[in-house]
Structure 1
Amino acid sequence: MGIGEAVAERFEDRSSTADADDLETDEIFHILQTRRRRDVLRYLRQADGPVRLGDLAERVAAWEQGTTVDALTSSERQRVYISLYQSHLPKLDREGIVDYDKDRGIVERTPLAAAFDPFIDEIDGVDRRDSWPRRYAAVAALCTLLLAALGATGVVAPAGLAAGGAVIAAFAVVIGVHARAT
């Protein structure tokens, strides 16, 4: 399944009036091709409702510069503000991904924006795989080492070693199932 088909499937449950078929694969890639648009979508996902364009521009500029909003220079803020105001937000608004009130300087995420979340994370290298199987495996390895050390020193009877080995083996099976499922 291509990215266009995957996004189209996710669009089926949205309450927006835009048609999922209206966004072709090339348009989806165009929307996601710039880091600023992805940052806009990421910020709006974290926001609780509508945001001011100035706040959005500051946050995006801070991410780009790898600094805090307070440490930004006026020119760094202005550069991002202008590109969002003139280019990126109107594009996202035309596609129905955000509601952008240019006159009031207010931006809000639409239901259609949620369809882009998995792709934003994937493009930007966010690894959403569950890290718990690796943690479980490390614990199982440590328990195996501990059990081996106790067995080698004679502290634990052979029956206890067998029982401990069975528990660790069962734990390893659960780890494998969990890792495969995620």
Structure 2
Amino acid sequence: MTLKADSHPRSSESSSNTAGADEPSELTPDDIFHVLQTNRRRDAIRYLLEKDNPVKMRDVAEYVAAKENETTVANLTSTQRQRVYIPLYQSHLPKLDEQDVIEYDKPRGIVRPTDRLEVFRPYLEVSSEESHRTDRDRRESEADGAAVRSDTTYYSAATAASLSLLLAAQLGVLTLSGLVLGSLITLLFVLATAVTTRAGARLATRSSGPHRTDV
């Protein structure tokens, strides 16, 4: 009787351990980093996060290829599709399946998102925000550079015009008094300064605007 009573708890404990072993372990930070290490896996996860139902593996590949080539699915070439399709089919989607991020029916070419997919959403949202911020900063930097080049152009033009007036006066092409000549040259530089000051004010306004997030 004692042996029979003792054996029952052990059997129950064994069943409990077996059930626990069947549950997938949580993803570690290293697991998440490894999954998100490649652009193709990140883009595949972005696509699947927007889908509630199983999708065709071909649709995932076309979305990733379009992102990679900065075009639309309709404008993809067969070479662009093939270049992405094969690595996804052979490597990236099986990797996501191993991590229980998706259920990948390879023979049928069907991909089913799992609940674990949501783990990656915050990371991808931050990545997307950083990408938009980088693009915006790049555009602003280009605009600032154009403004600086414009300032240089104005002053160069003013200098060239002033030298031309001086040369023309010395050669007798223009008959101007020193006072008039000096006034014209001064006016040229005043106009150049006014234009560049306005451009600088616009740059300062944009830099201090509410869209700036740098602290």
User: What's the TM-score bracket when you normalise by the shorter of the two chains?
Assistant: 0.5 to 0.7
Residue of 63, 67, 71 corresponding to 1:67: 71
Matches within 5 A, 1:1-182: 17-20=23-26, 23-125=27-129
Within 1, Cα distance between the matches of 2:130 and 2:45? 14
What residue ranges of structure 1 are gaps of 5+ in the alignment? 1-15, 128-182
Letter in 2 for 1:113: L
Letter in 1 for 2:52: D
User: In the TM superposition, what whole-angstrom CA distance separates every residue of 1:70-100 from its partner, at most 9, and x where no partner exists?
Assistant: 1101011011110110111000000000110
What residue ranges of structure 2 are gaps of 5+ in the alignment? 1-21, 132-215
Cα deviation, residue 115, structure 1: 1.0
Query: Identity rate of aligned residues, in percent?
Result: 52
Cα deviation, residue 121, structure 1: 1.4
Letter in 2 for 1:32: L
Is the partner of 1:100 in helix, strand or coil? Answer: strand
Cα deviation, residue 42, structure 1: 0.7
Cα deviation, residue 56, structure 1: 0.9
Tell me which protein shows more helix as a share of its residues. Answer: 2
Within 1, Cα distance between the matches of 2:89 and 2:57? 8
Within 2, Cα distance between the matches of 1:99 and 1:60? 18
Cα deviation, residue 126, structure 1: 5.8
Letter in 2 for 1:33: Q
1:157 equivalent in structure 2:
none
Within 2, Cα distance between the matches of 1:28 and 1:116? 7
Higher relative contact order (CA 8 A, sep 6+): 1
Within 2, Cα distance between the matches of 1:70 and 1:115? 31
Report if aligned partners of 2:52, 2:113 keep a CA contact under 8 Å in 1: no
Within 2, Cα distance between the matches of 1:25 and 1:48? 25
Letter in 2 for 1:18: P
Within 1, Cα distance between the matches of 2:54 and 2:34? 24
1:164 equivalent in structure 2:
none
Is the partner of 2:111 in helix, strand or coil? Answer: strand
Cα deviation, residue 125, structure 1: 2.8
Letter in 1 for 2:36: L
